[in-house]
């Protein structure tokens, strides 16, 4: 037991020195997770589009249309910045992006109202961003409902009904809405919690991949493992290293996932204890996942940056926060469970935005532990196999050298040059076999 702890401590201290000795890893482990949350919180500080400028084309020129336009202007989402005399002008404004939406009241607007037929308002909206559309829709709908009530009320009054009676006639059932967990319905409150988790996932994963790429490229992966651990106790190496990353990432997680959401007034219903308990398997799963991928595919120090960063977008999309999990094609759903980010983001959002307890995120929690266990096994196995191959090669090299020297019988004048050359040829063959 004490031996195990000692070994873990040795590996741990080697790893800490590596992390703090590498500028790129420092950049990714510390700068990125500290910088991104702040920048993104600033970017999405205004949760919704406010006072979007619109144009109105009022060909009806009646009392109702004027009132309608006033109400549109009064909504928080919309501002009537142009009043055009015809659709051509409005179209021109729209082409120049001066307005994002056009409300058009045709000539027959008032006559239709008077004839008790449905009057029509034509809305043109810019679909280049869904937020323009959403703003036009929300603001417009609020006015529409209000206006409909007012018109109906007036009619009932003219028919001689009292206020209360008219209300019941108009609205036999009252519909109330209540948006839970993201009261403003804003983009920031939805996006930022997912983003924080993804940032942590990606930085930790990349950092580990870079470290293992560095070891491979500079041929020091064997040196980093203490000699007595190379044979049977390779799991202690995995443990020691993961302990190092874990200790670095717990404070970062607390800052990113607990303090920053408070400072920027994001929805935060969970408590720190639950979040931490949930994060433990998440961080472990990411660490072992990173190690497994690093051992399996990464050969260069800088290639992980090239290959995995753009993948964040896909990861974000398959977490199920954007596109609901049940609407994902089956293949992609299974694919998404390869990554710890999927249950991680789901679980964190449920705990922090929706105030779930651990019992409600049981599935995600279990999946994370399973992932951690599987990736731990993969990481240890691959590391073990690699060490085994390296050692075999080293022994072979050693024997080869001995055979050469002894076979020739006489040492050449400069034995060092000879060994260097063999070393070179062997490293070349090694690269080929790898």
Partner 1 sequence: MLRELHRIWRNPRYFILMTLGVVFTFVFFATVTREGQPTKLSVAVVDMDGSYLSRRICHEMEATQGVSVKAVYNNHSEARKAMQRGEIFAFYEIPKGTYNDLLQFRSPHFVLYVNSAYMLAGTLSYKQLATMGMLATGAVQREVYRKKGYKDEQIMGLIQPVEYDTRNIGNPWINYGNYLMTTLIPAVIAFIVLMHTSYIISRERQEKTLKNWLSRANGNPFYALIGKMLPYTVWYVFLCLLANLIMFGFMGFPLEGSWMLMVLNSILLIFAAQSAGCFIAGSIPDPPLAMGISAIYSAMSFSLSGFSFPVESMPTFLYSFAWLYPIRHYYQNFCDIAIFGNGFSHCWPRFCALLAFGVLIVAGALMMQWQVNREKRLAVQQYKRDAV
Contacts with partner 1 in 192-211 (CB under 8 A)? 210
Residues 89-108 that bind partner 1 (CB under 8 A): 94-97
Least distance (Å) between residue 165 CB and partner 1: 8
For partner 1, which is the closer residue by CB, 95 or 413?
A: 95
Q: Which residue of 254, 328, 358, 377 would you call a contact of partner 1, by CB under 8 A?
A: 328
Q: Is 358 in the site for partner 1 (CB under 8 A)?
A: no
Contact 145, 8 (CB under 8 A): no
Report helix, strand or coil for 304: helix
Residue with tokens 């949350």: 37
CA distance from start to end of the chain? 36
Q: Report how far residue 110's alpha carbon sits from residue 96's, in angstroms, rounded to the nearest whole number.
A: 31
Other beta carbons within 10 angstroms of residue 331's beta carbon come to 8
CB of 115 to partner 1, least distance (A): 7
Q: Shortest distance, CB of residue 278 to partner 1, whole angstroms?
A: 14
Site membership for partner 1, residue 21 (CB under 8 A): no
C-beta of 16: minimal distance to partner 1 in Å?
A: 19
Question: Contact with partner 1 (CB under 8 A): which of 74, 122, 338, 389?
Answer: 122
Burial letters for 404-422: b for 16+ Cβ neighbours within 10 Å, e otherwise? ebeeeeeeeeeeeebeeee
* H or E segment and range at residue 53: strand 52-58
Residue 434 C-beta: closest distance to partner 1, Å: 12
13, 17, 19, 23: CA torsion to nearest 10: 170
Applying CB under 8 A, among 2, 21, 118, 413 the residue interacting with partner 1 is: 118
For position 280 contacting partner 1 by CB under 8 A, the verdict is no
Burial class (CB in 10 A: 0-12, 13-18, 19+), 118: exposed
Nearest CB to partner 1, comparing residues 68 and 375: 68
- CB 405, min distance to partner 1, A: 31
**Which of 1-9, 150-158, 226-234, 282-290 is the region at the interface with partner 1 (rule: CB under 8 A)?**
150-158
Stretch that binds partner 1, among 8-16, 221-229, 296-304, 367-375 (CB under 8 A): 296-304
Query: Under the criterion CB under 8 A, does residue 131 sit at the interface with partner 1?
Result: yes
Name residues contacting partner 1, limited to 366-425 (CB under 8 A): none
Of the candidate residues 4, 46, 86, 427, the single one contacting partner 1 (CB under 8 A): 46
Span from 182-190, 224-232, 244-252, 389-397 in contact with partner 1 (CB under 8 A): 182-190
- Minimum CB distance to partner 1 smaller for 90 or for 372: 90
Is residue 125 within 8 Å of residue 132, measured between CB atoms? yes
Nearer to partner 1 by Cβ, of 279 and 356: the residue is: 356
Tokens of 15: 């790893």
Name which of 259 and 311 has its Cβ closer to partner 1.
311
Near partner 1 by CB under 8 A, which window of 33-41, 236-244, 256-264, 377-385? 33-41
Strand partners, 56: 83, 103
Instruction: Indicate the residue among 11 and 113 with the shorter CB distance to partner 1.
Output: 113
What is the spatial distance between Cα 76 and Cα 384, in angstroms, rounded to a whole number?
62
Q: What is the DSSP string of 201-228?
A: HHHHHHHHHHHHHHHHHTT-TTTTS-GG
When binding is defined by CB under 8 A, the residue of 11, 119, 229, 234 that contacts partner 1 is 119
Closer to partner 1 by Cβ: residue 140 or 384: 140
Distance CA(291)–CA(215), nearest Å, equals 12
Q: Quick check: 44 binds partner 1 (CB under 8 A)?
A: yes
Contact window for partner 1 (CB under 8 A) among 42-50, 221-229, 230-238, 372-380 = 42-50
Residues in 159-178 that interact with partner 1 by CB under 8 A: 167-178
Burial of 209-222, coded b for 16+ CB within 10 Å and e otherwise, reads bbbbbbbbeeeebe
Q: Does 33 bind partner 1 (CB under 8 A)?
A: no
The count of residues interacting with partner 1 (CB under 8 A) is 109
* 162: CB partners within 8 A, 6+ apart: none
d(Cα 204, Cα 344) in Å, to the nearest integer?
A: 14
Dihedrals phi, psi of 360, to nearest 5 degrees? -80, -25
Residue 87 near partner 1 by CB under 8 A: no
The helix (run of H) or strand (run of E) holding residue 58 is strand 52-58
* Residue 433 within binding range of partner 1, rule CB under 8 A: no
């Amino acid at each position: 037991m004490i031996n195990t702890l000692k070994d873990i401590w040795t590996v741990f201290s080697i790893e800490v020195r590596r992390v703090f000795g590498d500028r790129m890893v420092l950049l990714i482990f510390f700068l990125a997770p500290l910088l991104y949350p702040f920048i993104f919180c600033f970017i999405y500080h205004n949760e919704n589009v406010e006072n979007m400028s619109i144009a109105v084309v009022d060909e009806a020129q009646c009392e109702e249309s004027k009132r309608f336009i006033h109400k549109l202007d009064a909504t928080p989402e919309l501002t009537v910045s142009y009043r055009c005399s015809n659709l051509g002008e409005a179209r021109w404004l729209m082409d120049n992006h001066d307005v994002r939406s056009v409300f058009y009241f045709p000539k027959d607007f008032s006559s239709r109202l008077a004839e008790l037929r449905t009057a029509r308002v034509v809305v043109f909206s810019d679909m280049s961003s869904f937020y323009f559309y959403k703003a036009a829709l929300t603001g417009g709908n609020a006015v529409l409902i209000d206006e409909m009530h007012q018109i109906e009320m007036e009619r009932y009054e003219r028919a001689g009904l009292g206020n209360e009676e008219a209300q019941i006639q108009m609205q036999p059932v009252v519909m109330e809405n209540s948006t839970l967990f993201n009261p403003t319905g804003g983009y920031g409150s939805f996006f930022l919690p997912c983003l924080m988790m993804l940032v942590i996932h990606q930085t930790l994963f990349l950092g580990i991949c870079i470290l293992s790429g560095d070891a491979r490229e500079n041929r020091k992966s064997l040196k980093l493992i203490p000699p007595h651990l190379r044979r049977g106790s390779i799991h202690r190496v995995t443990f020691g290293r993961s302990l190092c990353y874990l200790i670095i990432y717990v404070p970062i997680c607390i800052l990113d996932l607990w303090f920053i959401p408070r400072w920027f007034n994001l929805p935060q219903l969970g408590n720190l204890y639950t979040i931490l308990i949930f994060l433990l398997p998440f961080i472990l799963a990411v660490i072992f996942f990173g190690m497994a991928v690093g051992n399996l595919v990464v050969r260069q120090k800088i290639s992980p940056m090239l290959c995995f960063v753009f993948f964040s977008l896909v990861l974000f999309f398959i977490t199920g926060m954007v596109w609901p999990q049940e609407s994902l094609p089956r293949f992609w759903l299974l694919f998404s469970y390869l990554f710890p980010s999927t249950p991680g983001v789901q679980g964190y959002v449920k705990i922090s935005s929706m105030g779930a307890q651990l019992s409600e995120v049981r599935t995600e929690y279990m999946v994370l532990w399973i992932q951690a266990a599987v990736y731990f096994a993969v990481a240890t196995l691959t590391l073990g196999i690699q060490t085994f191959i390296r050692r075999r090669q080293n022994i072979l090299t050693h024997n080869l050298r001995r055979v050469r020297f002894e076979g020739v019988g006489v040492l050449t004048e400069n034995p060092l040059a000879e060994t260097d050359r063999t070393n070179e040829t062997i490293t070349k063959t090694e690269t080929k076999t790898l």
